[in-house]
């Protein structure tokens, strides 16, 4: 079991701090127990061939049980090719790529970069098949899109792709070219099809798929994201802290370093995984706490997150886990929940960079679940009964008529049904009946019932929110024009979600998140699927120079919508980031991928914390309902 790393540098396009990035990351890895001889550096000047061969050598050396880190610092580019690339996609797909120091020139129409799908194939498939503990750190522009699924046709944004002829190397595989025919198999495996399953790597991206990464003067200083990342790792060295707990601090410090809000680092992959480890931290019931100068305790998006008056929380120090005491919710609004400490006189000293979190102990309005054995005593139901006791969102009901959900068990098979008003949330679907061995369905059932409970609370809260102000335009657009409330999305039509500010200058920061809730009741925050957890900042987009404030278009393929039936799209507009990806519950492998909190900073960089405590936070909601045309 070896800790090994590969560092790749590419000092092109005015990147002056590359050497500082490499030195800083090397020192940080040494501090985390990586041996100097196990930290490889790609030969320089880097070329496409040298990057690919270095990655291939890393994969060859890696053994099961190893801890592997891949760090790239340099320039990231976007490109289009004149024609289909090896039959994979048409000429309009936007490809992201790493830019080497030699052998590549957009000016001379000579492509020599490493494509996003190649990185995904090498690191997300080949390396992750050999090792379950892989961390990929990308310090470059467009980093959030450097490891896509093959089906991802590129994302819109303020991109200006260079156009290239297809290199001969891509037409006829050479010594270092990839087996392009295997890439389609990779896509099938990632999308849940047949094939060899692999663990998901953790990807730390300096910025989103459509945004730039920066290094702030003086020249030669490490880039903003790398400095923020290493600083956070050093502050928490020795703590059992997950990447999901660390990313808010990294994101805020990155923006603090450069004094800009446009660069937003992203975390892709299992958020609950411990830093450079395989263990996971339970994040699904964890909420970050804002602490005021007089000891005020506040959680954001209270009712939106399903929080009620009287809910009990445990306050602990992030990472260290030190108990600070208990607290209960004293007041709840759509935008916030105020906590009252059980012992107001208790005090605790927080180290620089530390922040408290609130762990939900018990909800005052849990969903009641009735268990019905259809074929005699069942060990599966006994296990499920214990799991319900451990869940703060659920409670065993002894009266079937008073239950929200009913779980029937027949010879190890579980069937979940809604009762009363909840019946419409669970129509016939592949997830309504879960087959498997005696114990394996239980985590799925608890997972689904908690997701349904949270989604129902979200829908009820949205029904109480006012509509957005008229200067904010929100629309679901198709090839044929806007999709109206109650309309139908035709088969084969593309879909995108548009948020625009009609004024010449936004009055303040407004954030837009897009949440999809379908007939089965599960909710999915769509902008979080692209790594953008906080939503669109209309003010920041306007500052980029668009005089009409036509700021941003979020685009997804039709298949991102979760069900081929009735759909609702909720545009949630707020004056503070709500980060609604706590609703994004996808599959069993991602059980630790929830984050039910609003990470708003740390004592290392308390940007805007006092404002969020004192200023009222406004929330507006627009719902658009439509159906998908049957196939």
- Strand-pairing partners, residue 317, are 356
d(CA 533, CA 310): 28
For residues 150-163, give the mean pLDDT: 51
Residues 6 or more apart in contact with residue 355 via CB below 8 angstroms? 249, 288, 289, 291, 317, 318, 601, 602, 603
The predicted structure's pLDDT at residue 57: 96
Supply the CATH classification number for the domain 367-463: 3.40.50
DSSP H or E stretch at residue 499: strand 495-501
Residues 593, 286 contacting (CB under 8 angstroms): no
pLDDT for 283-296, tens place per residue? 667 787 877 767 78
**Per-residue burial over 475-510, b = 16 or more CB atoms within 10 Å of its CB, e = otherwise:** bbbbeeeebeeebebeeeeebebbbbbeeeebeeeb
Distances in Å between the Cα of 270 and the Cα atoms of 38, 116, 203, 441 are 25, 20, 9, 21
Per this entry, what is the length of the chain?
A: 631
**Per-residue burial over 171-204, b = 16 or more CB atoms within 10 Å of its CB, e = otherwise:** eeeeeebbebeebebbbebbeeeeeeebbbbbbb
Class of domain 465-575+615-628: mainly beta
Confidence of residue 353 (pLDDT cuts 50, 70, 90): low
- Strand-pairing partners, residue 405, are 369, 418
Strand 336-341 with 297-300, pairing:
antiparallel
- Residues 274, 314, 331, 614, Cα dihedral to 10°: -60
The mean of the pLDDT values for the chain is: 74
Confidence of residue 168 (pLDDT cuts 50, 70, 90): confident
**Per-residue burial over 582-591, b = 16 or more CB atoms within 10 Å of its CB, e = otherwise:** bbbbbeeebb
> Hey, is 298 helix, strand or coil?
strand
Task: Say which residue, 616 or 617, is predicted with more confidence.
Answer: 617
- Strand-pairing partners, residue 343, are none
> Hey, is 627 helix, strand or coil?
strand
Supply the CATH classification number for the domain 3-268: 3.40.50.1460
For residues 594-611, give the mean pLDDT: 29
Which CATH fold would you assign to the domain 286-362?
A: Thrombin, subunit H (2.40.10)
For residues 224-232, give the mean pLDDT: 94
Q: Highest mean pLDDT range out of 41-45, 220-224, 264-268?
A: 41-45
Residues 574, 547 contacting (CB under 8 angstroms): no
Same fold, 286-362 and 367-463: no
pLDDT for 542-576, tens place per residue? 444 444 433 344 444 434 444 446 778 888 888 77
The predicted structure's pLDDT at residue 443: 64
DSSP H or E stretch at residue 118: helix 116-119
For residues 113-131, give the mean pLDDT: 87
Q: How many CB atoms lie within 10 A of CB 60?
A: 9
Q: Transcribe 159-209 into DSSP letters.
A: ---EEEPPPHHHHS--SS---HHHHHHHHHHHTT-SS---PPPEEEESS-T
Residues 440, 473 contacting (CB under 8 angstroms): no
Q: Which two tokens stand for residue 612?
A: 């969020």
pTM of this structure: 0.60
Residues 6 or more apart in contact with residue 374 via CB below 8 angstroms? 408, 409, 410
Strand order in 202-205's β-sheet? 39-41, 3-9, 67-73, 134-139, 202-205, 266-268
Radius of gyration over every alpha carbon of the chain, rounded to an integer in angstroms: 24
The predicted structure's pLDDT at residue 603: 26
Residues 371, 449 contacting (CB under 8 angstroms): no
Distances in Å between the Cα of 321 and the Cα atoms of 94, 189, 281, 282 are 44, 37, 11, 12
> Hey, is 58 helix, strand or coil?
helix
Q: Which two tokens stand for residue 291?
A: 């602490």
Distances in Å between the Cα of 388 and the Cα atoms of 14, 181, 299, 316, 397 are 56, 46, 25, 23, 10
Confidence of residue 194 (pLDDT cuts 50, 70, 90): very low
CA 589 to chain centre: 14
Q: Is the peptide bond before 45 cis (omega within 30 degrees of 0)?
A: yes
Give residue limits of the domains in the chain: 3-268, 286-362, 367-463, 465-575+615-628
The predicted structure's pLDDT at residue 504: 56
* CA proximity to 593, closest of 514, 534, 524: 524
The predicted structure's pLDDT at residue 349: 65
Counting residues of the chain whose pLDDT is more than 90, the rounded percentage is: 22
* CA proximity to 191, closest of 124, 141, 274: 124
Q: Phi and psi dihedrals of 359, rounded to 5?
A: -100, 120
Distances in Å between the Cα of 561 and the Cα atoms of 183, 557, 565, 628 are 24, 8, 10, 10
The predicted structure's pLDDT at residue 395: 92
């Amino acid at each position: 079991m070896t800790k090994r790393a590969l560092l790749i540098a590419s000092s092109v396009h005015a990147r002056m701090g590359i050497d500082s990035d490499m030195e800083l990351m090397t020192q940080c890895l040494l501090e985390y127990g990586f041996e100097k001889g196990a930290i490889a550096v790609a030969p320089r000047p880097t070329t496409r061939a040298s990057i690919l061969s270095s990655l291939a050598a890393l994969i060859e050396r890696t053994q099961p049980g190893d801890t592997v880190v891949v760090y790239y610092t340099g320039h990231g580019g976007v490109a289009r090719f004149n024609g289909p690339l090896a039959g994979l996609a048409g000429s309009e797909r936007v490809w992201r790529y790493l830019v080497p120091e030699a052998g590549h020139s957009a000016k001379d129409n000579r492509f020599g970069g490493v494509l996003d799908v190649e990185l995904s194939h090498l690191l997300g498939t080949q390396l992750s098949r050999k090792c379950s503990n892989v961390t990929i750190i990308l310090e470059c522009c467009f980093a959030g899109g450097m490891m896509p699924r093959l089906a991802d046709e590129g994302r819109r944004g303020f991109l200006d792709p260079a156009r290239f002829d297809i290199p001969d190397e891509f037409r006829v595989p050479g010594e270092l070219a990839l087996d392009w025919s295997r890439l389609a198999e990779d896509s099938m495996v990632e999308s849940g099809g047949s094939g060899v399953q692999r663990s998901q790597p953790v990807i730390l991206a300096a910025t989103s798929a459509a945004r730039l990464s920066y290094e702030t003067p003086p020249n030669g200083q490490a880039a903003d994201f790398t400095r923020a990342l290493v600083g956070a790792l050093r502050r928490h060295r020795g703590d059992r802290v997950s990447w999901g707990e660390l990313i808010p601090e990294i994101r805020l410090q990155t923006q603090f370093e450069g004094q800009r809000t446009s660069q937003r680092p992203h975390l892709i992959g299992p958020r609950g995984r411990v830093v450079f480890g395989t263990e996971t931290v339970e994040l699904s019931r964890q909420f970050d706490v804002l602490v005021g100068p007089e000891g005020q305790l506040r959680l954001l998006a209270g009712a939106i997150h399903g929080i009620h008056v009287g809910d009990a929380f445990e306050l602990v120090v992030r990472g260290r886990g030190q108990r600070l005491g208990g607290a209960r919710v004293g007041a709840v609004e759509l935008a916030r929940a105020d906590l009252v400490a059980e012992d107001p006189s208790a005090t605790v000293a927080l180290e620089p960079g530390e922040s408290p979190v609130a762990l939900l102990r018990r909800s005052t309005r849990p969903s009641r679940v009735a268990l019905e054995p259809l074929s005699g005593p069942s060990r599966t139901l006994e296990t499920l009964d214990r799991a319900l006791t451990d869940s703060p969102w659920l409670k065993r009901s002894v009266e079937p008529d008073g239950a929200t959900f009913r779980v029937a068990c027949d010879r190890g098979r579980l069937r979940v049904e809604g009762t009363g008003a909840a019946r419409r949330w669970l129509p016939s679907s592949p997830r309504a009946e879960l087959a498997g061995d005696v114990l394996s369905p239980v985590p799925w059932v608890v997972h689904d019932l908690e997701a349904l409970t949270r989604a129902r609370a979200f829908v009820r809260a949205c029904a109480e929110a006012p509509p957005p102000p008229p200067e904010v335009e929100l629309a679901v657009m198709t090839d044929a024009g806007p999709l109206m409330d109650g309309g139908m999305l035709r088969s084969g039509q593309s879909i995108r979600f548009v948020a625009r500010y009609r004024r010449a200058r936004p009055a303040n920061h407004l954030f837009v998140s897009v949440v999809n809730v379908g007939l089965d009741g599960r909710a999915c925050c769509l902008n979080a699927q692209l790594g953008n957890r906080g939503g669109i900042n209309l003010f920041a987009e306007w500052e980029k120079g668009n005089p009409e404030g036509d700021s941003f278009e979020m685009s997804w393929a039709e298949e991102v919508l979760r069900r081929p039936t009735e759909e609702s799209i909720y545009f949630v507009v707020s004056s503070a980031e709500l980060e609604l990806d706590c609703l994004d519950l996808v599959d069993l492998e991602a059980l630790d991928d929830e984050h039910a909190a609003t990470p708003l900073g740390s004592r290392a960089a308390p940007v805007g914390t006092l404002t969020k405590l004192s200023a009222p936070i406004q929330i507006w909601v627009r719902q658009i309902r439509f159906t998908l045309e049957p196939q």
